[in-house]
Amino acid sequence: MSARYGYRRFDGTGGADDLDAEALLDALTDDLLENGDLSDALNRLLRQGLRTPDGQDIEGLRDLIERARQRRQELLERGDPDGQFAAFKERLDAIEATERQALEDLAREAASSGDERRIQVTDDAVAERTVALDLLPDRFADRIDAMRSYEFISSDAREQLEQLLGELREQIVGSYFESMRGALAEPDPEQMRRLREGMDALSRMLEQRERGEDLDPTFEEFMAQYGDLFGPADSLDELLENLAKRFAAAQAMLDSLSSEQRAELERLAQSLFEDMDLNFSMSRFLSNLRRAFPEIDGSGGYRFQGDQPMSLNETADTAQQLGELERLEGLLSSENPAAMLPEIDIEAVKRNLGEDAARHLDRLGRLVQELSDAGLIERRGGKMELTAHGVRRLGARALSDLFDRLRNGALGDHTATKTGFGHDREEVSRPWESGDPFHLHLSRTVHNAVARGGGGLPVRLEPQDFEIVEHEALVRSATVLAIDLSMSMPMRDNFVPAKKMAIALTTLIRTKFPRDYLGVVVFSEIAREVKVEELPTVMWDYIYGTNLQHALALSRKMLSREHGTRQILVVTDGEPTAHLDDIGEPHFHYPPTNETLRRTMAEVVRCTRAGITINTFALDLERTQFPFVEQIAQVNGGRTFYPSNDELGGYVLTDFLKHRRRLRPTG
């Protein structure tokens, strides 16, 4: 079979090969087992980051949030928009001073000529203009309006005013329409007409869509005619969203000014829009855009802290960046970032935080997708949960870890080989799944292929036909695993090792001994049965009490329906401190009362009479400290082990496998 290779241009973001889904699940395992919530564990992993199997570090969301905060502070220290507005006023004062100087020069030249008529005419003209200059309003916008209608003596002053007006047009209108910058310093009437018509067309499209009508013009027709004025976009929604962000940035720019300067600029903008015949079209479009995007007016201003004047365009650009950073920080700081990551604009991250941050965030976003694509997790009811495949993978990993620890031990083969009456040899097979050892059950595989494709030769095999040999089994065992979930278990760091052991044991039984029965009981103040699939998310109880009596009673009831050799494996870190009374109400007391010990031992006797062996794994207990667990072994005939929490899994698996080797065939 020849190998096939695929190639693509390197885009700097890394490939999917560095994000092995099973390795990612392994990184989540301890957190998941300790806290019982996959979504929370996944979100914590996203926040703290991780190291990929090839040794690369992926920054977590906390680091990216800190980057965003630092970048926001840098932008706020960039400059001062009030300083730019003050610079405009200074330039207007300079224009007035240039004109007054020209008037003085004109009067002096006329006086030096000796021509009485010239002197009279000049003095009248100078006096008239001087009065007009003296009567100029104090407010900047009104003063600009008055000077636009003023008849200048100085051509320099007139040119300076026209230049200032061009910059104001460029900065004010360009704050709303970024793509129009440069075209507004000396506005072309034809360009202004197209801008006006483009805004009117957008308004019609918004109004038509609001009424549920067909768009006229279509988006494609609009972009062909006006796209150069409004910037690139692949859809009407994208174009409107881009414009809404820009208008929100322009509003934030206004809100960042002092109240006096904001009022001045709004008045000036209205005057300039009227001058360019854009006022009605702009007002109509803004009204429609605000209905579609109410958040335009909710951004608020920013407290810039720089000391250098910052142009209105630059302020709007900076406000847009700040808005994007705030939105990014809000998404990254959400309670459920795993659900929010698909909504993040990677290109916006690249613009604001650089390619390195964008690459890390892109890879974090692909973590969830990798786990989902591998069939390990799925979303149910708004939360991420393990699939059946994910639970199997978790169990296989836990089992592999435990066997790695026992690698130097002589576990041997674990299939019982004794014979007996009433139980025939049986081969068990199951459908092959990706990742399974390829030990084909040939007769079942060929049978499946023939059933699917019909008779005749050749018989063509497909992956769905494959069945693998699971094991050979001659005996059956029924086991209930009873795990203490009282508050002392997590307090002594016994909770996670107990869950890992339980998951590993269930995986061992399901894969090696699938005809065996395994039930799981958890207990604290009371006991309850849990499904094997629920083990990864089972949590310890926020309650005091170790009700071993109820756990044994429930385990005995579950085993009463099973045949074969029956046993209860008890994992606990304390003696019984709770029991159920005659009407089923729990009672807790520490130290244990005689009533609790009496009722618990009575249940041990019932299990013994039913032929059920009780093996106890006592964590953090000294042999002489709590003699009750030894008494259970004396009455029942089972055994008591005293492992540390890191030895628990090995003890349970070794004992279970030795027990399996000693079993006699049922029947």
Give which of 401, 272, 385, 409 is closest to 42, Cα–Cα. Answer: 385
Instruction: Name 429's bridge partners.
Output: 469
Residue 280, pLDDT score: 86
Instruction: Name 478's bridge partners.
Output: 517, 566
Task: Tell me the average pLDDT across 157-172.
Answer: 88
Residue 2, pLDDT score: 37
**CATH number, span 475-662:** 3.40.50.410
pLDDT in tens, 304-315: 888 888 888 888
Give which of 138, 141, 178, 89 is closest to 266, Cα–Cα. Answer: 141
Task: Tell me the average pLDDT across 331-337.
Answer: 86
Residue 602, pLDDT score: 96
Tell whether the model's pLDDT for residue 418 goes beyond 70: no
- Compare 177 and 182 and report the one with higher pLDDT: 177
pTM of the complete model: 0.63
For residues 153 and 95, what is the distance between their CA atoms, to the nearest angstrom?
12
Residue owning tokens 């990864």:
536
Confidence bin at 428 (pLDDT 50/70/90): low
Residues 6+ apart with CB under 8 A from 91: 160, 164
Residue owning tokens 């459908």:
431
* Strand pairing class (565-572; 612-618): parallel
Which contiguous run of DSSP H or E holds residue 426?
strand 426-431
Is residue 318 exposed (0-12), middle (13-18) or buried (19+ Cβ within 10 Å)? buried
pLDDT in tens, 74-125: 999 988 888 887 888 899 999 999 999 999 999 999 999 888 899 999 999 9
Confidence bin at 17 (pLDDT 50/70/90): very low
Residue 182, pLDDT score: 54
Domain ranges for the chain, please list them: 16-77+326-386, 81-303, 426-473, 475-662
Beta strands (DSSP E) in 458-524 are 467-473, 477-484, 517-523
